[in-house]
């Protein structure tokens, strides 16, 4: 069956990638059903695709802004027209519930329009000169070929948030999605870009995992790597790119503090906590993964959060309405279970949930957690809310900052001025007062501090700089004389 027949329950994929590397299965996480098998790209094959993208780049860069903007707007329309196809793939391939998938698609449609307008932005500035007749220009130029390497959790968005601005700024792109979300985060993008009229070679697509990913990083033809994924892989990419002076945009892991002060509105804090900890089964870099709660209100908070957790339905998002779907694969579910078990062995107490059934994990609340437990020190990427208590606000800040990661954080308090002050003390790239940590407004520069990235930012106006190099061109009307 064609990849578009995905909504049929007896779907069996008939699709060839055109590559000859290792075979990987396209698995539906909710059922374990193998939807199909396809070939990855070998290193040699990946290098050929990258070379093809390199050849296509000069012509794409010199196409008018109207051509680039027009294609990106048509792509936005193609996304809208194919919403059902995208939602079904996102549910079946990635275990996404419908509202998550709808938000993700809408964000991509908006970002396609934003990228179209980037193509029309001024391409530089004029600067005055110490020499009266000299014209000084600072112009932005495309990087060349941008390698985009994306994960599986928000596959469409995390591919497109880099692909779209990179194309708008005159780069060609080679996209390497995660093999577990190859269709949602790769094939659909490539096919809809064809419908939008993107010329051949402007977007290359590579199936597979680390092998083609490494080819993208190591091939001298890629001038920039826009990577979203784990801190461990991001670090190895950073090391390679530092050696070759390649530009990077690295958006990495998180272990995000959710602070609840003594004066917080507990109903609202518990609602935010349930969303931030359990949305998409907790498989979000900004997950509210460390709940740091004042000891005087901890019991009320735990009860309110556990009640919300108990009301959530876990199921197969393709066949039923549910709040949580399956985790992406069995080893991820086993990892989450191991974090829970190890922490319980150290004295944590399960308030609700706590036991994985295959790839399904019920929303879990843990109390009596201490800061040395693995559920607190490690990124969970599963639907677990571990709760640590504190006495003083100074202690809350210290607990929040006691991690090498620094992506997102939030603070709940009736005193928003105090919240704003404390936000300044937290070592994270994004801090939200009286909200949860999973916030992404695509027109606002996004990114982390510490080991959550390279402190670059992606989204909105910063994309103009993020996906270009800068060049100073000066022009004198005629040659001048120097002293020697």
Residues acting as catalytic residues: 251, 285
Closer residue to ligand NAD (CB): 74 or 280? 280
Nearer residue to ligand NAD within complex by CB, 336 or 351:
336
E-strand ranges in 28-169 read 34-39, 124-127, 135-142, 145-149
CB 322 within 8 A of CB 97: yes
* Stretch of 7-15, 61-69, 209-217, 356-364 contacting ligand NAD, by CB under 6 A: 209-217
> Is 93 a binder of ligand NAD (CB under 6 A)?
no
Contact range with ligand NAD by CB under 6 A, out of 40-48, 97-105, 171-179, 411-419: 171-179
Reported residue count of the chain is: 484
The structure tokens listed for 76 are 């936005």
Is there a contact between 177 and 155 (Cβ–Cβ < 8 Å)?
A: yes
Nearer to ligand NAD, 53 or 304 (CB): 53
Nearest to 15 by CA among 207, 212, 210: 207
Burial code of 446-458, b = ≥16 C-beta within 10 A, e = fewer?
Answer: bbbebbbbbebbb
Given the rule CB under 6 A, which of 11-19, 70-78, 248-256, 431-439 is the region that contacts ligand NAD?
A: 248-256
Site for ligand NAD in 25-44 (CB under 6 A): none
Cβ(474)–Cβ(136) below 8 Å: yes
Euclidean distance between CA atoms 14 and 37, whole angstroms: 9
The Cα–Cα gap between 92 and 221 comes to: 35
Asked if 273 is part of the footprint of ligand NAD (rule: CB under 6 A), the reply reads no
Alpha-carbon span 401 to 19, nearest angstrom = 45
Tell me the closest approach of the beta carbon of residue 242 to ligand NAD, in angstroms.
15
Residue range at the interface with ligand NAD (CB under 6 A); choices 175-183, 241-249, 264-272, 411-419 = 175-183
Phi, psi of 172, deg, nearest 5: -95, 165
Q: Is 445 near ligand NAD (CB under 6 A)? A: no
Minimal distance, residue 237 CB to ligand NAD, in Å: 6
229 lies in the binding site for ligand NAD (CB under 6 A): yes
Question: Helix, strand, or coil here: 406?
Answer: strand
Nearer to ligand NAD, 112 or 228 (CB): 228
Q: Write b or e for each residue in 17-48: b if 16 or more Cβ atoms lie within 10 A of its Cβ, otherwise e.
A: bebebeebebbbbbbebebbebbbbbeebbbe
The answer to whether residue 228 forms part of the interface with ligand NAD (CB under 6 A) is yes
301: tokens are 């908070």
Can residue 174 be called a binding residue for ligand NAD (CB under 6 A)?
A: no
The least CB distance from residue 320 to ligand NAD, in Å, is 26
Could you tell me which of 81, 82, 80 has the C-alpha nearest to residue 109?
Answer: 80
Q: What angle in degrees, to the nearest 10, is found between the helix axes of 188-196 and 155-168?
A: 40
Q: Applying CB under 6 A, what is the total number of residues that bind ligand NAD?
A: 28
- Assess 253 for contact with ligand NAD (CB under 6 A): yes
Contact 289, 386 (CB under 8 A): yes
Q: Closest separation between CB of residue 129 and ligand NAD, Å?
A: 41
Contact with ligand NAD (CB under 6 A): which of 17, 214, 248, 281?
Answer: 214
* Binding residue (CB under 6 A) for ligand NAD from 1, 67, 83, 210: 210
In order of 156, 165, 185, 460, the CA distances from 111 in angstroms are 11, 8, 15, 9
Residue of minimal Cβ distance to ligand NAD: 213
170/207 with CB nearer ligand NAD: 207
In sequence order, the β-bridge partners of residue 364 are: 384
* Binding segment (CB under 6 A) for ligand NAD, from list 125-133, 228-236, 307-315, 473-481: 228-236
Neighbouring residues of 72: CB distance < 8 A, sequence distance ≥ 6 = 112, 113, 115, 116, 119, 164, 167, 168, 196
Instruction: Please say which residue, 233 or 387, places its beta carbon nearer to ligand NAD.
Output: 233
**230 scored as a contact of ligand NAD (CB under 6 A):** yes
Given the structure tokens 């402190």, which residue do they identify? Answer: 455
Of positions 115, 252, 293, 314, contacts ligand NAD by CB under 6 A: 252
CB of 433 to ligand NAD, least distance (A): 21
Closest CA to 212 of 3, 37, 22, 454: 22
Q: Which is nearer to ligand NAD, 176 or 290 (CB)?
A: 176
Residues 36, 209, 445, 460: which binds ligand NAD (CB under 6 A)? 209
Stretch that binds ligand NAD, among 54-62, 250-258, 263-271, 297-305 (CB under 6 A): 250-258
Site for ligand NAD in 338-397 (CB under 6 A): 379, 381
> Is 436 an interacting residue with respect to ligand NAD (CB under 6 A)?
no
Q: What is the binding site for ligand NAD (CB under 6 A)?
A: 149-153, 158, 176-178, 209-210, 213-214, 217, 228-230, 233, 236, 251-254, 285, 379, 381, 407, 448
């Amino acid at each position: 069956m064609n990849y578009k027949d995905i909504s049929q329950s007896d779907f069996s994929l008939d699709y060839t990638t055109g590559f000859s590397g290792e075979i990987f299965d396209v698995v539906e996480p909710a059922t374990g059903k193998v939807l199909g098998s396809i070939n990855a790209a070998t290193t040699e094959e990946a290098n050929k695709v990258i070379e093809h993208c390199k050849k296509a780049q000069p012509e794409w860069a010199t196409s008018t802004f109207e051509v680039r903007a027009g294609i990106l707007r048509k792509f936005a329309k193609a996304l809208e027209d194919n919403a059902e196809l995208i939602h079904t793939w996102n549910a079946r391939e990635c275990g996404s519930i419908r509202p998550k998938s709808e938000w993700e698609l809408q964000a991509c449609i908006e970002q396609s329009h934003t990228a179209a307008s980037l193509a029309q932005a001024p391409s530089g500035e004029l600067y005055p000169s110490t020499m009266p007749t000299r014209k000084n220009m600072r112009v932005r130029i495309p990087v060349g070929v941008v390698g985009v390497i994306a994960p599986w959790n928000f596959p469409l968005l995390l591919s497109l948030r880099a692909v779209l601005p990179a194309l708008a700024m005159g780069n060609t792109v080679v996209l390497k999605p995660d093999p577990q979300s190859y269709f949602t985060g790769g094939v659909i993008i490539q096919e809809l870009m064809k419908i939008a009229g993107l010329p051949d070679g402007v977007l290359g697509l590579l199936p597979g995992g680390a092998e083609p990913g490494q080819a993208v990083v190591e091939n001298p033809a890629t001038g920039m790597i826009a990577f979203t994924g784990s801190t461990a892989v991001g670090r190895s990419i950073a090391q390679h790119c530092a050696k070759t002076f390649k530009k990077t945009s690295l958006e990495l892991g998180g272990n995000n503090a959710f602070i609840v002060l003594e004066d917080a509105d507990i109903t609202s804090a518990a609602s935010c906590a349930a969303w931030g900890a359990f949305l998409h089964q907790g498989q979000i870099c900004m997950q509210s993964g460390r709940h740091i709660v004042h000891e005087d209100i901890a019991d009320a908070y735990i009860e309110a959060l556990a009640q919300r957790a108990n009301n959530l339905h876990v199921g197969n998002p393709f066949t039923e309405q549910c709040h949580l779907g399956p985790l992406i694969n069995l080893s991820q579910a086993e990892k989450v279970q191991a974090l829970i078990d190890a922490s319980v062995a150290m004295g944590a107490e399960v308030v609700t949930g706590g036991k994985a059934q295959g790839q399904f994990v019920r929303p879990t609340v843990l109390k009596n957690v201490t800061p040395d437990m693995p559920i607190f020190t490690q990124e969970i990427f599963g639907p677990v809310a571990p709760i640590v208590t504190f006495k003083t606000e100074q202690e809350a800040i210290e607990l929040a900052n006691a991690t090498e990661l620094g992506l997102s954080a939030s603070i709940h308090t009736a005193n928003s001025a105090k919240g704003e002050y404390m936000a300044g003390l937290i070592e994270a790239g994004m801090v939200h007062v009286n909200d949860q940590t999973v916030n992404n407004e695509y027109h606002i520069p996004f990114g982390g501090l510490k080991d959550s990235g390279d402190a670059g930012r992606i989204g909105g106006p910063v994309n103009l700089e993020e996906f270009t190099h800068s060049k100073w061109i000066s022009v004198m009307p005629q040659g001048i004389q120097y002293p020697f």
